[in-house]
Amino acid sequence: MNRFFSVDLPGRLRRSGEAPRRQTPRRANTLGKMNLPPLMGRRDAAYDEAAKMLTGDLFAFDEGERRRRYRRIGTLLRCAEADTTAILELLSSPDTTVRERKLRAFFNMLAKTVTALEWFVELESTVFSDGDEQLRDFKAVQTGAELARGERMVAETEQDIVNQLRNFFERTQPRVMHYRSYARKSFSPDNAERYERSLNYHSGVYGGDGELPADIPAPEDQP
What secondary structure does DSSP assign to 53-105, as a single string? HHTS-GGGS-HHHHHHHHHHHHHHHHHHHHHHHHHHTT---HHHHHHHHHHHH
* Global confidence as pTM: 0.75
Statement: residue 217 has pLDDT above 60: no
Q: How confident is residue 89, by pLDDT bands cut at 50, 70 and 90?
A: very high
Assess whether pLDDT exceeds 90 at residue 213: no
| Average per-residue pLDDT for the chain | 77
Percent of the chain past pLDDT 70, that is, above it, reads 67
What's the average model confidence in pLDDT over 32-41?
87
Whether the per-residue pLDDT at 167 is higher than 60: the answer is yes
pLDDT at 105: 95
